[in-house]
Amino acid sequence: MTEVTESGAGWLSREDMDSARERLPILYVDAVPVRVDDHGTVTAVGLLLRIGEDGQVKRALVSGRVLYHERVRSALLRHLEKDLGPLALPRVPTSPQPFTIAEYFPTPGVTPFHDPRQHAVSMAYVVPVEGDCAPQQDALELTWFSPYEVREPTVLAELANGQSALLLQALAHCGV
């Protein structure tokens, strides 16, 4: 496989990435951005609005690949900045621990998580953010929901590929 340097080492050409996706599980990170009060209680949950590859507008968590030779913490910070902007000020611990691991399969129904492109394994994190967030790149909007609003069936239905299940696990992990 040849490497293409777009913004650094670890980027594959589209053809090489498609080839790898057909043969290997790909490592991802999922992040649930939250606002917390002075006691560490979750007061708001941020969901992105994106246009999917199928052209549908859906809500989404911050998510993306871990690049070759990249630390998981660095991948989390990179994706949070890419989606929420450079002033989001995420509080990612020095040694982050996922609240769960989600397995996305190209075949629907194997797990609650589905990715038609590939078999992906994603470590999922709840990440408090303190700064000003502004959607970046392919994110159209960032909406903050209360922990109760985000559980509404209409909001959960807007999340694609099983991320509603991941969001509910994140809330349970936070005791909300």
**Per-residue pLDDT reduced to its tens digit, 33-61:** 999 999 999 999 999 999 877 788 899 99
Taking CA atoms, 135 is separated from 23, 43, 72, 117, in Å, by: 33, 20, 22, 24
* Nearest residue to 140 via CA among 63, 79, 83: 83
Q: Look at residue 40 and give its three-state secondary structure.
A: coil
d(CA 162, CA 113): 4
- For 95, which DSSP code? S
d(CA 137, CA 139): 6
Are the C-beta atoms of 73 and 83 separated by less than 8 Å?
A: no
Q: What is the pTM of this model?
A: 0.86
Q: How confident is the model at residue 176 (pLDDT cuts 50, 70, 90)?
A: confident
Domain 14-173 part of CATH 3.90.79.10: yes
Cα angle vertex 33, ends 31, 36, to 5°?
Answer: 135
**Per-residue pLDDT reduced to its tens digit, 93-130:** 899 999 999 999 999 999 999 988 889 999 999 999 99
The DSSP element (H or E) to which 118 belongs, if any, is none
Are the C-beta atoms of 157 and 164 separated by less than 8 Å?
A: yes
**Sequence-separated (6 or more) residues with CB below 8 Å from residue 136:** 81, 82, 83, 84, 85
Longest dimension (CA), the chain: 49
